């Protein structure tokens, strides 16, 4: 049901990977819970299909009113369509790009998000979440146009996991999201089609690669499919850095009035 990606002392990262199973048409997606003592954060909580299991999973670690933050990489339905329910069940603020700050309330009943949305500036931020001696850091790294116009990835400096949102996503029948990928080559067919169509341009991928390469990344945990560890981390950065995608591949042929 849930997979522990990291645990050391009172710090843990948990992935919920199979929550879309009952959804039929819905794409498989991962939700992440970061635990720090008796508080924590939820990353990309997902849509209504994911809500129940994630809420129960979180409650096993700390009571809902202790949730320090809800973090959204961007504003797609598989990222935060369950926002209304999280606004009701917890007191946590939502961190999302300023680009989406005034769009996200559309997922909720009127007034539900009042005073609870924190718009992240394009430059990102080292967030300090929680209170007192349970304070923890989470870095919001700019990942704009990968794929959304306002897009963040979240880096946990304790576990050294990079929660990469849709970048690094993998899909397909041969995929087991619970099995981390250690070598990239055999995994590329599960990623290539998605990245070519959903990522905006190679220019942005190159800028992203240059930003993350100096970071100590133990794992890249995407919002769809399997996490990448070991050699696969560097191999993934090298792979996307040279990938043509999005507007690199679009031309006049893609903009014709359908017959």
CA geometry: angle at 68 spanning 1 and 70, to 5°?
Answer: 60
**How many residues interact with Fe ion (rule CB under 5 A)?**
4
Q: At its nearest, how many Å lie between Fe ion and the CB of residue 223?
A: 5
Closest distance to Fe ion from the beta carbon of 25 (Å): 15
- Looking from the CA of 120 toward its CB, the CA atoms found within 13 Å total 30
Taking residues 91 to 130 in sequence order and writing x for each that binds Fe ion by CB under 5 A, - otherwise, the string is ----------------------------------------
For residue 110, the minimal CB distance to Fe ion (Å) is: 25
Residue from the set 53, 76, 156, 235 that interacts with Fe ion by CB under 5 A: 76
| Residue sitting closest to Fe ion (CB) | 76
> Closest separation between CB of residue 221 and Fe ion, Å?
13
Considering only residues 223 to 252 of the shown chain, the ones binding Fe ion according to CB under 5 A are 223
Q: How far is the CB of 76 from Fe ion (least distance, A)?
A: 4
Q: Is 44 in the site for Fe ion (CB under 5 A)?
A: no
Answer for the pair 113, 88: CB distance below 8 angstroms, yes or no.
no
Q: Which residue among 5, 20, 78, 191 contacts Fe ion (CB under 5 A)?
A: 78
Cβ within 8 Å of residue 71, ≥6 positions away: 41, 42, 43, 44, 94, 95, 96, 138, 140, 152, 154
Judge contact between 100 and 80, C-beta under 8 A. Answer: no
Q: What is the CA radius of gyration of the chain?
A: 18
Using CB under 5 A, which of 166, 177, 199, 208 touches Fe ion? 166
How many Cβ atoms sit within 10 Å of the Cβ of residue 135? 13
The residue among 117 and 148 lying less far from Fe ion, judged by its C-beta, is: 148
Task: Between 127 and 148, name the residue whose CB sits nearer to Fe ion.
Answer: 148
User: Nearest Cα to 30, choosing from 49, 46, 42, 41?
Assistant: 46
Measure CA 132 to chain center. 26
Question: Smallest distance from the beta carbon of 198 to Fe ion, in angstroms?
Answer: 7
> In degrees rounded to 5, what are phi and psi of residue 6?
-160, 140
206-225 residues near Fe ion, rule: CB under 5 A: 223
Quick count: other Cβ atoms within 10 Å of Cβ 257? Answer: 4
Stretch that binds Fe ion, among 78-86, 101-109, 118-126, 176-184 (CB under 5 A): 78-86
Footprint of Fe ion (CB under 5 A): 76, 78, 166, 223
């Amino acid at each position: 049901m849930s997979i522990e990606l990291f645990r050391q002392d009172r710090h843990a990262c948990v992935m919920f990977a199979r929550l879309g199973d009952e959804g039929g048409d819905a794409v498989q997606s991962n939700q992440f819970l970061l635990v720090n003592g008796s508080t924590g954060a939820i990353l990309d909580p997902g849509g209504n299909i994911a809500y129940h299991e994630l809420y129960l999973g979180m409650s096993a670690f700390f009571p809902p009113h202790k949730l320090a933050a809800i973090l959204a990489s961007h504003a797609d339905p598989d990222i935060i369509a369950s926002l209304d329910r999280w606004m009701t069940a917890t007191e946590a603020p939502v961190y999302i790009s300023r680009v989406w700050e005034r769009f996200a309330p559309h997922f909720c009943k009127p007034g539900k998000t009042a005073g609870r949305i924190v718009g992240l500036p394009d430059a990102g931020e080292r967030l300090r979440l929680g209170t007192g001696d349970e304070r923890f850091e989470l870095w919001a790294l700019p990942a704009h146009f990968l794929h959304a116009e306002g897009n963040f990835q979240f880096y946990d400096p304790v576990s050294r996991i990079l929660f990469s949102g849709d970048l690094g996503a993998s899909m397909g029948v041969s995929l087991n999201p619970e099995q981390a990928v250690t070598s990239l080559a055999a995994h590329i067919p599960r990623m290539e089609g998605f990245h070519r169509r959903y990522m905006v341009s190679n220019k942005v991928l190159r800028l992203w690669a240059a930003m993350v390469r100096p970071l100590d990344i133990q794992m890249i945990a995407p919002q769809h499919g399997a996490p990448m560890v070991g050699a696969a981390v560097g191999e993934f950065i090298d792979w996307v850095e040279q990938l043509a995608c999005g507007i690199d591949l679009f031309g006049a042929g893609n903009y014709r009035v359908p017959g």
